[in-house]
Structure 1
Amino acid sequence: MTPQPTPQPTPQPRPPVPPFSREDAIAKVRAAEDGWNSRDPARVALAYTEDSWWRNRTTFLQGREAIVAFLTQKWERELDYRLIKEMWAHGDDRIAVRFAYESRDVDGVWWRSYGNENWQFDENGLMRWRHASINDLRIEEADRLYHWDAPGPRPADHPGLSDLGL
């Protein structure tokens, strides 16, 4: 008897799912922001397909295990991380995002990192592709703009990127 392949579980939908309305895209972006602000690599990785492809700056990776390893290392270097994302544009299964985050390095130097992401989703609302371009600006601690208890989501009354003039 020939062994049969083990059936793979069907991914659970992660609403909202494509096709995205403007409101869906905004909700998807906020959910991603909240996930990343948890600084929990395993939790964040669940928003991506098992074989998701990433380009983050000049790093290329594939799959949830690689995402978890990447984020674990990221948050070991980028301390007191706080992120704000904003939907820039969307299509049926794609969302363009602009973002900025603040963090400090192990030497206590503060940074604000600005970037853009292009996302593509599968039919279950899991991210299949993530392309991120990011630039870093050294800032003084007194110039920080993101002030909320972290890790955790940005409070609903905390200004977003446009409100902050970023």
Structure 2
Amino acid sequence: MPSRPPVPPFTHESAVEKVLKAENAWNSRDPQQVALAYSPNSEWRNRASFLRGREQIFEFLTQKWNKERDYRLLKELWAFDGDRIAVRFAYEFHDNSGNWYRAYGNENWEFDEDGLMRRRIASINDLRISESERKFFWPQGPRPADHPGLSELGL
């Protein structure tokens, strides 16, 4: 199985790089690409969903991005140690009725020696917002380098 650098043990620089790679992958909204960053038997808790393995992750993400339209995500390193990284994040999306939301959350990640995530624990809260309250504007794909991060936006 191919390695997904950076690999543990993480330094501050490699942890920041890992977080940015995850943000970019999720902003692609490509469930197959995202699922490949997880170990074959990866364990997830996402809100009240409990998943195991890439196939379940792929199915979950496919359903997620079919419901969460125009999804844009920001992640920020919170802490790291050895093979673990903690992040905070926010993302915006609208549902099929045009209602906008900003979701806030924290994730705890644990990686194997190849840099694949073997555990992801996510706690997430949604806040309904008006379209005029949106803060994340860029074309689908990676966040532009000049777009402010969570701290700069006061989130």
Whole-angstrom CA distance in 1 between matches of 2:32 and 2:80: 26
Query: Max radius of gyration: which structure?
Result: 1
Q: Report the counterpart of residue 97 of structure 1 in structure 2.
A: 87
Deviations 1:46-105 (A, max 9, x none): 100000000000000100000000000000000000000000000010000000000000
Of residues 14, 34, 38 in structure 1, which corresponds to 2:24?
A: 34
**Residue 17 of structure 1: aligned partner:** 7
1:86 aligns with 2:72: no
Of 85, 106, 115 in structure 2, the residue corresponding to residue 125 of structure 1 is 115
Q: Confirm or deny that 1:153 pairs with 2:121.
A: no
Structure 1 gaps, min length 5: 1-10
Residue in 2 that maps onto 1:165:
154
Q: Distance in 1 between matches of 2:61 and 2:4?
A: 21
Distance in 2 (CA, whole Å) between partners of 1:111 and 1:77 is 12
User: How is 1:40-55 mapped onto 2 (pairs within 5 angstroms)?
Assistant: 40-55=30-45
How far does residue 12 in structure 1 lie from its aligned partner after superposition?
Answer: 1.0
SS in 2 for 1:157: coil
**TM-score (normalised: structure 2):** 0.99
**Residue 3 (structure 1) aligns with:** none
Aligned with residue 50 of structure 2, among 57, 60, 67: 60
Where does structure 1 differ by over 2 angstroms across 4 or more consecutive aligned residues? none
Give, in whole Å, the separation in 2 of the partners of 1:69 and 1:45. 9
User: One-letter code of the match for 2:148?
Assistant: P
Q: Alpha-carbon deviation of 1:13? A: 1.0
Instruction: Give the number of aligned pairs.
Output: 155
Q: Aligned partner of 1:23: which letter?
A: E
Seq. identity, %: 66
Task: Report the CA distance between 1:26 and its aligned residue.
Answer: 0.3
Q: How does the TM-score come out when normalised to structure 1?
A: 0.93
